A = this chain, B = another copy of it.
């Protein structure tokens, strides 16, 4: 089983993720094959989730898919939990000014999650790339965020990296990365020097609140064909400006009515 599923909800969520993993409508038997829950248990779990509309069941084909309630919740999540709704107008502006791909990412567990994105050319519909996860140790946003993590958290995150060598440039060991993080703190922004995907480069700046806590990161990404680190460098003041504005707005927003008693 993929993780320690304490409690019933844990199991239910594991099943949900199991269904999600297939990325297509899936039959009961297929699920049973990939799960070690006993048949009856799995069955009941699926039923519960279906009744709760977290899954939807197509009686024609006898398949389960992720339910719409999930999409609704996600809408709320996107609006609430992440920086996305605040950052949105700023990302638009940044995208317009630079003409390059803009990413908004947050750190979760030990991975980077892309919360929003602006494509270089076409305006993206909502969930297109948002929700994807990526490694922290070899992406601009990941490194930018890690650079400002308190030591205990950093150690925790570092311990969980896969250190897979995606390209020649990948910093595939802790020492090298720690050195890099120092450099990032010194200059205030991170680079991705084709460390994750060949030909893809970026600059990233962390978004931090007043107390210095890392909230997320913004990056501008391009390719070695179209641009260079030097060129991207010229965007840094603009990005930093944007991250600061976002950080400031976050402060107001997170406590809209601390004292409200109505």
Contact = CB atoms under 8 A, between A and B. Distances in A.
Closest 9 interchain pairs by CB?
A75-B131, A74-B74, A66-B77, A20-B76, A65-B81, A68-B108, A66-B81, A126-B130, A70-B77
B81 A56 contact: yes
Interface stretch (A160-168, A219-227, A230-238, A250-258): A250-258
A52 interface: yes
Interface residues of A, number: 68
Contact of A74 (B63, B73, B88): B73
A70 B73 contact: yes
Contacts of A35: none
A23 B66 contact: no
Given A7-B48, A118-B125, A126-B131, 7 more contacts: A8-B9, A17-B73, A20-B80, A23-B80, A71-B74, A75-B129, A75-B130
8 contacts: A9-B9, A10-B52, A13-B54, A24-B254, A60-B213, A68-B77, A75-B127, A116-B125
A125 B211 CA distance: 31
Candidate in A66, A77, A117 with the most chain B CB atoms within 10 angstroms:
A77
A22 B257 CA distance: 12
A125 B72 CA distance: 16
Contacts of A65: 77, 80-81
Given A6-B51, A52-B13, A70 B74 contact: yes
A69 interface: yes
Nearest to A92: B122
Interface string A176-212: 0000000000000000000000000000000001010
A71 B130 contact: yes
Contact of A81 (B71, B126, B132): B71
Nearest to A17: B73
A38 to B, nearest CB: 18
B66 A70 contact: no
Contacts of A113: 68, 71-72
A170 to B, nearest CB: 23
A133 interface: yes
Nearest to A213: B60
A31 to B, nearest CB: 14
A20 B213 CA distance: 24
Contacts of A56: 81
A171 B24 CA distance: 37
